[in-house]
């Protein structure tokens, strides 16, 4: 411990970069006391310093070229908060090549290029830490890599996208439809003008791919994550869920079987109200983990936002600074042992809730139930409410766990029946 100061450079002064700077500068004294050395933000690179942010670093710290940070021999840790893969990946690789420890909050980069980045880091014996990439402030990556590392984990289920959780929460609390709440979320800044990455589950897919690698030690191709968004979830689905004791959440799920085959999926799901994830509302995120020794563990917090994510990024920087001060950079390297063998969605077994509109006449329920039975799909519960019109009734079935392909066969036959008008929704049941 000869060094009395560790220097940090930040690439990208957007929402997370600014939050990180605020935390590191605002709490500098307490951090120095805990670290036993000063942790100084020496340079911040951004291409646009004319735009005003909540807090601006002093002019002498501002630079316009990321290479000024990466090439500075005095800088020990490079924090990447640019986001995306266009520039960030090359900057991060260059920083590693220059022997810097790297901290990033970039989920897309880690999901798509994590393997290359971590391999390069291992070769150069430096840290690459990415707590802020999944669940914002939630200490899930560190917990999976350290505190929970002794357990064999079987299951990771997360609410990892704040925008969709906010939308579903308001739909639940106010009985409103998706389109209306989305518009309000956009007006409030909780959803982007183009909400595709959030509402279609693309963001959550990146995050569950990262969690799979860290929790199971198995790399997963993000393009192979099965994905359904929330755009088709309706107020009626939520109402039926409530009546049956469930809430609807967008879940990112990774499950490892005995054979190490991994289920990887992002979709809306019915979740029992007593499940710890069921009461995670609004923009909050939570990640639920189940393992052989640790049993059920859940971590909850803000999944986004300048200061919460900045707090996670700053925490990683302090961790790397501790490693640097002890000559222990690269202390926790990538622990992947190989690639995940992903179970095809057709073979995944889930329980499912199916809402259908049928002709309101005798014998209909029996006909449909018979088809389910013939296809080996067993019924757990069924609700038929008062008829929607003279001719049409709505039936909601919950079927026991069965392989997806069996269910699809049954539903294809059911949908072809004259007595079935439509199947407005098919939502899996978890928990």
Site residues (vs a copy of itself, CB under 8 A): 19, 22-24, 26-27, 30-31, 33-34, 36, 131, 137-139, 142-143, 146-152, 217, 274, 276, 279-281, 284, 291-302, 305, 307-308, 310-312, 314-319, 322-323, 326-328, 330-333, 335, 337
Which residue shows structure tokens 């430096």?
Answer: 126
> Residue 386 carries which DSSP code?
S
The C-alpha atoms of residue 423 and residue 412 are separated, in whole angstroms, by 10
**Which of 44, 377 has the CB closer to a copy of itself?**
44
Q: Which of 214, 200, 128, 205 is nearest to 160 (CA)?
A: 205
* Residue position matching structure tokens 């029996």: 366
Q: Is the Cβ of residue 112 or residue 302 nearer to a copy of itself in the bound state?
A: 302
Task: Tell the burial category of 197 from Cβ atoms under 10 Å away from its Cβ (0-12, 13-18, 19+).
Answer: middle
Question: Measured from the CB of residue 328, what is the shortest distance to a copy of itself in angstroms?
Answer: 4
To which residue do tokens 């690269």 refer?
A: 330
Q: How many CB atoms lie within 10 A of CB 49?
A: 16
CB of 189 to a copy of itself, least distance (A): 17
Tokens at 402, concatenated: 């069965």
| 71 or 174: CB nearest a copy of itself | 174
Q: How many Cβ atoms from other residues are within 10 Å of residue 255's Cβ?
A: 19
Q: What does the DSSP 8-state code read for residue 336?
A: -
CA gap 256, 246 in Å, rounded = 25
Distance from C-alpha of 365 to C-alpha of 380, rounded to nearest angstrom: 14
For the bound state, the minimum distance from the C-beta of residue 275 to a copy of itself, rounded and expressed in Å, comes to 9
User: In Å, how far from its chain's centre is CA 301?
Assistant: 13
For a copy of itself, give the closer residue by CB, 144 or 358: 144
Smallest distance from a copy of itself to CB 317, Å = 8
Q: Rounded to the nearest 5°, which phi and psi values hold at 63?
A: -130, 160
In 3-state terms, the chain is what percent helix, strand and coil (to 5)?
Answer: 40, 30, 35
Q: 184 or 281, CB closer to a copy of itself? A: 281
Q: How far is the CB of 319 from a copy of itself (least distance, A)?
A: 5
**Which has the closest alpha carbon to 318: 66, 121, 103?**
103
CA distance 175 to 331: 50
Find all residues with CB under 8 Å of 68, minimum gap 6, and list them: 43, 45
> Which of the following is catalytic: 43, 100, 207, 343?
207
Active site residue 207: yes
* Nearer residue to a copy of itself within complex by CB, 83 or 291: 291
Tokens of 219: 């790399």
Smallest distance, Å, CB 405 to a copy of itself?
Answer: 32
Nearest to 195 by CA among 160, 159, 141, 231: 231
CB of 284 to a copy of itself, least distance (A): 8
CA distance 79 to 69: 10
Determine the Cα angle at 265 with ends 289 and 272, to 5°: 55
Question: CB of residue 265 vs a copy of itself: minimum separation in angstroms?
Answer: 23
Active-site positions?
207
């Amino acid at each position: 411990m000869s060094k009395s100061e560790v220097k940090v450079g930040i690439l990208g002064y957007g929402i997370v970069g600014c939050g990180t700077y605020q935390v590191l500068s605002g709490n500098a004294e307490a951090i120095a006391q805990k670290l036993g050395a000063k942790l100084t933000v020496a340079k911040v690179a951004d291409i646009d310093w004319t735009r005003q942010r909540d807090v601006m670093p002093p002019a002498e710290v501002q630079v316009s070229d990321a290479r000024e940070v990466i090439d500075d021999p005095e800088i020990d840790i490079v924090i990447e908060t640019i986001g995306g893969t266009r520039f960030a990946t090359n900057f991060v690789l260059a920083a590693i090549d220059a022997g810097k420890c790297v901290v990033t909050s970039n989920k897309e980069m880690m999901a798509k290029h994590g393997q290359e980045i971590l391999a390069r880091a291992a070769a150069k014996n430096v840290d690459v830490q990415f707590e802020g990439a999944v669940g914002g402030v939630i200490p899930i990556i560190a917990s999976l890599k350290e505190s929970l590392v002794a357990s064999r984990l079987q299951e990771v289920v997360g609410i990892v996208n704040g925008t969709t959780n906010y939308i579903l929460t308001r739909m639940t609390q106010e009985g409103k439809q998706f389109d209306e709440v989305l518009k309000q979320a956009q007006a409030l800044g909780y959803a982007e003008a183009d909400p595709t990455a959030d509402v279609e589950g693309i963001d959550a897919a990146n995050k569950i791919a990262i969690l799979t690698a860290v929790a199971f030690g198995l790399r997963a191709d993000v393009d192979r994550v099965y994905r359904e968004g929330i755009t088709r979830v309706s107020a009626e689905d939520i109402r039926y869920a409530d009546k049956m004791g469930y809430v609807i959440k967008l879940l990112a799920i990774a499950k490892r079987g005995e054979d190490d085959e991994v289920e990887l999926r992002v979709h809306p799901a019915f979740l029992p109200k007593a499940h710890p994830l069921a009461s995670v509302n609004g923009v909050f995120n939570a990640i639920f983990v189940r393992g052989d020794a640790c049993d059920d563990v859940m971590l909850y917090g803000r999944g986004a936002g300048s200061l919460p994510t900045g707090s996670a990024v700053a925490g990683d920087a302090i961790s790397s600074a501790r490693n640097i001060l002890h000559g222990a950079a690269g202390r926790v390297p990538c622990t992947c042992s190989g690639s995940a063998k992903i179970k095809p969605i057709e073979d995944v077994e889930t329980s499912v809730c199916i809402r259908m509109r049928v002709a309101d006449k005798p014998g209909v329920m029996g006909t449909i139930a018979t088809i389910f039975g013939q296809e080996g799909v067993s019924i757990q519960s069924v609700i038929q409410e008062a008829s929607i019109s003279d001719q049409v009734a709505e039936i909601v079935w919950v079927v026991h766990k069965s392989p997806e392909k069996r269910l699809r066969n049954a539903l294809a036959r059911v949908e072809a029946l004259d007595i079935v008008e439509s199947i407005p929704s098919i939502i899996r049941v978890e928990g």
